[in-house]
Amino acid sequence: MRNILLTVSYDGTNFSGWQRQDKSDEKKPVRTVQGELEKVLESVHKTKINLQGSGRTDSGVHAVRQKANFLSPIDSIPAEKYVVALNSLLPDDIRILDSKEVDENFSSRFSAVTRTYRYFIVPSNRALATQMPYVWNIKNEPDIEKLNAMASVLKGELNFATFTAAGDQSKSTFRYVENARFFYEDLCPCGKAIVFEITANAFLWKMVRSLTGSMIFFEKNGYDEKYFKEVLDSCDRSKAGPTAPPQGLFLWDISYEGVRHDADYVKENSTED
C-alpha cells in the first residue's frame, strides 16, 4: 500500500462541508467534498477508498490548500499523476493541486502542526456580485488598528469555550494560537478587503467565524481589546458576538513543519470550522 497525500482546493458554496455524510436530506444524497473525492478515487482504484482530511470545514466554507491522504492499493499510477487523473473526473468546484507519496505512518490530520484560516471581509458594501459567494460584505468601515488590538489577545494556549458552537464534541476547548492578525488585501476592482488570518494547532467548531463576527461586532459598538479579553476569559458563549457567515472563510494552508503544541488534547474528537 502506498500512502498518497493530496493538496486540494475547493469552492465550498455547493457543499455541505468537507466530511462525508451517510444521512440524506429529503431522500437526496448530501453533497460533501470528501464524498465526491472518495467516489472518484473508488472509480480509479475499483475498490473502496477511505480519504482522511486535515480538517473538517463546515458547509459553505472554502479551501485553498486542504490536505488529505489515502492508501492506494495499486502501483500503476505514479504519485504525481494523481493530479491529472483525478482532475479529469472531478467536478469543477474541486481541484487537486498536488499529489505525492508520503511515509506509511503519515496522517494528514494527526501529523499536522498548524492550520491557517483566512476570513475575507469587504467593508462599506463595496463587494461585486461575483465576489459575494466568497466574502462577508458589511455596511461599515472598521478601524483595523482596533481590530488588531483585539487580535493581539489571541496568542498562546487559550480556552476558546466562548467562541465555539453549541454541539462541539471536542474533549478540550483549549487551543494554541501561533498568530492572529487583520490586514488589507487588494480585491480589484472593488478596492481593499480586510482579511483576518489565524494560525493554530487546531480549531473548535465555528471558532474562526465566531471570533471574526465577534471582533467586527465589538469594534462597531465601541468595545476595546480589554473587553474582548474579558469575554474570552469568561468562557461564556452568550457573551460572544454574532457568528460571521461561512462564505468568507477559507482553509488557507496546513503545515507539517515544526512541533505541534499540546497535540494530545486535540487529537481525539477534534472538530474544525
Catalytic residue among 11, 22, 25, 58: 58
Alpha-carbon span 183 to 257, nearest angstrom: 25
**Residue of 215, 211, 204, 212 whose CA lies nearest to 175:** 204
Look-up of cell digits 475499483: 46
**Residue of 125, 3, 22 whose CA lies nearest to 68:** 3
Look-up of cell digits 460571521: 244
Element (H, E) at 5: strand 2-10
Alpha-carbon span 214 to 191, nearest angstrom: 24
Residue 254, phi then psi, degrees to nearest 5: -125, 135
What is the residue type of 36?
E
CA angle centred on 261, ends 250 and 145, rounded to 5°? 50
Handedness of CA 257, 262, 266, 267 (dihedral sign): positive
Grid coordinates belonging to 85 = 487523473
- What b/e string do you get for 39-49 counting C-beta neighbours within 10 Å, with b at 16 or more? ebbeebeeeeb
Using DSSP's 3-state secondary structure scheme, residue 226 falls into helix
Catalytic residue status for 58: yes
What is the residue type of 206?
K
What is the residue type of 1?
M
Active site residue ranges: 58
